[in-house]
Chain A
Amino acid sequence: MNPKITIIDYGIGNIQSVKKAFNFLGANVSVSEDAGEILASDAVILPGVGSFEAGMRGLKVRGLVDVVKEIGAKNKPMLGICLGAQLMLSEGHEFGIFKGLDIISGKVVHFPDLANKEKIPQIGWNKVYAPGEVFWKGTIFDSIPDNLSDFYFVHSYTLVPDKKDNIFGLTNYGGHKFCSIIRSGNIYGCQFHPEKSGKVGLEIIKNFIKII
């Protein structure tokens, strides 16, 4: 049986391209804001583009904050993308300080001033590598060449997990090294967009479907 994957629709950003990618890979995917349907899924995707506060508000008004936390607590396969990954952390420092889902402990902060006056937001393709003590084998990054493939980023804020254990990938931009993938068990958050990162991005999604 094809595992049931639900893309959580909390009214923010562009979920169409995420759905398109899962469809392309033959996944049994649907888009929903219904708590029951989300909880009954085998895996969930938390997408999103926009501000931290707007994202949390989108979840709150739909009564989904505790739903997503519960999925996190159960260690069900979950993939957060861009804002979705940021929301997994404890708090966001965008237009004020706002509480996040706190599935992984940490905060979301603005890029510092960058070398070469590199522009913020970072819009474009950049590499991702595994920190020294981390191995991607057996994870959704299994087949991804370390520090060789580029992924598509669009962001001004970055993930700062409290624990080193949750840093699963790093990226350099304008001389600043930041965490571009967070992980805790079956829960992954990517600052970049795998669904817009060409074939190598689809590879990550394919691997995610495999771990379900």
Chain B
Amino acid sequence: MKNIRIIPQLNIKGTNVVKPIHTEALRVVGRPEELAMRYYEDGADELLYLDIVASLYQRNLDFELLKSVAENIFIPITVGGGIRNIHDINNALRAGADKVAVNTYAIRHPEFISEAAKEFGSQCITLYVEAKLQSDGTYEAYTDGGRERSGLNVIEWIRRGIDLGAGEILISSVDRDGTCKGYDLGLIKQITAISSIPVIAHGGAGNLESIEKVIKDGGADAVSASSIFHYGDFNIGNVKDYLSKKSINVRI
């Protein structure tokens, strides 16, 4: 069995790592350089680095900050937030990113996914999908950090994204993010059932059992979390030890 990847997520606002609680309230967690180094030392398999306001304010992410965060980290880094063109991707790669996550701009301009995949290869393009449960039981894709509706059904949008050349799916539950109530298994299961490419589950990791569940029951290829790592409830080593004991392969 392959190794399941454990991926801490850094939500960046300005020069800080922040923790959104239902996207509106924010708490400052710390400096991205320090957190990234801690996670690297603790055995993170990759890092997710998302500027959570760049897209909303139509700004570019701070490539200088990214550069200083990436400087001494030798694991893959996926960078998202305000990526709108090939030039942005180039800048992110030059600053130390290995992959980019696209959401808002790709929803408005789906052809951007294929353009980017052609230029940099599918493995470089992560489709970031923010899913929110609707009253009819389906999920709708949101943009701008869970603020704006797109009108797109999550499953249909993901199918399309894969066809267009995305190499990986980062699925985040808007309802669960920041709640620590466990991953939205219904959502994750629906996606892993149709996805031919790796799926990273995000949103709601609260305890070790919730991580085990999203892998065993949800079929996630990788799990991402922020709060549980930021606040020291568990470190990456604890999560990996626990998963190994539950017969899930992880890189030790």
Q: Once the chains bind, are B71 and A20 in contact (CB under 8 Å)? A: yes
Name the distance in Å between A175's Cβ and chain B's nearest Cβ: 10
B140 at the interface (CB under 8 A from A): no
Q: B130 at the A/B interface (Cβ < 8 Å)?
A: no
CB neighbours of A201 from chain B (8 A)? 74
Report A157 CB to chain B, min CB distance, Å: 11
Q: Is A195 an interface residue (CB 8 A)?
A: yes
A196 interface neighbour in B3, B76, B95, B221, Cβ under 8 Å = B76
- Known A-B contacts A123-B123, A202-B74; the reply to A116 vs B96 at CB < 8 A is no
Distance between B128 CB and nearest chain A CB, rounded to angstroms? 15
Q: Across the interface, which residues of B come within 8 angstroms of A119, CB to CB?
A: 196-198, 221
Cα of A119 to Cα of B221 in the assembled complex, Å: 9
A14 on interface, CB distance cutoff 8 Å: yes
Known pairs A119-B221, A152-B75 / 13 extra A-B pairs, C-beta < 8 Å: A13-B120, A14-B93, A14-B98, A20-B96, A24-B74, A121-B167, A150-B3, A152-B45, A152-B76, A173-B2, A196-B74, A196-B76, A201-B74
How far is it, in angstroms, between the C-alpha of A118 and the C-alpha of B45 when the chains are bound?
Answer: 19
Tell me the bound Cα distance from A17 to B221 in angstroms: 24
Dominant secondary structure at the A interface: mixed
B251 at the interface (CB under 8 A from A): yes
Identify A197's interface contact among B71, B74, B197, CB under 8 A: B74
Cβ of A119 to closest chain B Cβ, rounded Å: 6
- Chain B minimum-CB-distance residue to A54: B121
Q: With a CB–CB cut-off of 8 A, which chain B residues contact A17?
A: 70, 74, 96, 98
Q: Report the minimum CB–CB distance from B152 to chain A (whole Å).
A: 24
Residue interface bits A180-202, CB-to-B below 8 A is 1, else 0 = 00000000000001011111011
Question: Which residue on chain A has the smallest CB distance to residue B90?
Answer: A14
In the complex formed, the residue of B with least CB distance to A48 is B121
